[in-house]
C-alpha cells in the first residue's frame, strides 16, 4: 500500500476559469490527472485530497468538480473541515 496526496486541483468544470492561462502545460490538465491517476494508483493505495478542489466560490457550483473526483478510481480521503 502506498499513500499519495494531491491538492490545489482548482477544477473549473462549473466555472469559466481555465487553468490554461498559466501556460500550455495546463491544457486539458484534468485529462492528464486522470490518466496519471489510473496508471499509478493501485487498488491497495489511498489518495489524500487535502483541499482546493475547485475554483467555484459557492458549494452549488462545485457539483461537476466533485463528480469528476468521484470518477477517479480507488480509495480517497478528504479533509472534513
The pLDDT tens digits for 24-34 are: 999 999 999 99
pLDDT at position 24 is 92
Cα(38)–Cα(42) distance, rounded to whole angstroms? 8
DSSP secondary structure of 48-78: EE-S--BS-SSGGG-HHHHHHHHHS-SEEEE
- In tens, the pLDDT along 9-59 reads 999 998 888 888 889 999 999 999 999 999 999 999 999 999 888 999 999
What grid cell was written down for 45? 493505495
Tell me whether residue 56 is exposed, middle or buried, using C-beta atoms within 10 angstroms of its C-beta: 0 to 12, 13 to 18, 19 or more: buried
Amino acid at each position: 500500500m502506498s499513500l499519495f496526496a494531491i491538492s490545489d486541483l482548482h477544477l473549473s468544470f462549473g466555472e469559466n476559469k481555465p487553468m490554461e492561462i498559466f501556460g500550455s502545460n495546463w491544457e486539458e490538465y484534468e485529462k492528464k490527472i486522470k490518466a496519471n491517476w489510473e496508471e499509478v494508483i493501485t487498488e491497495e493505495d489511498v489518495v489524500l485530497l487535502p483541499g482546493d478542489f475547485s475554483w467555484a466560490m459557492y458549494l452549488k457550483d462545485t457539483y461537476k468538480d466533485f463528480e469528476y473526483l468521484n470518477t477517479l478510481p480507488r480509495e480517497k480521503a478528504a479533509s472534513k473541515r
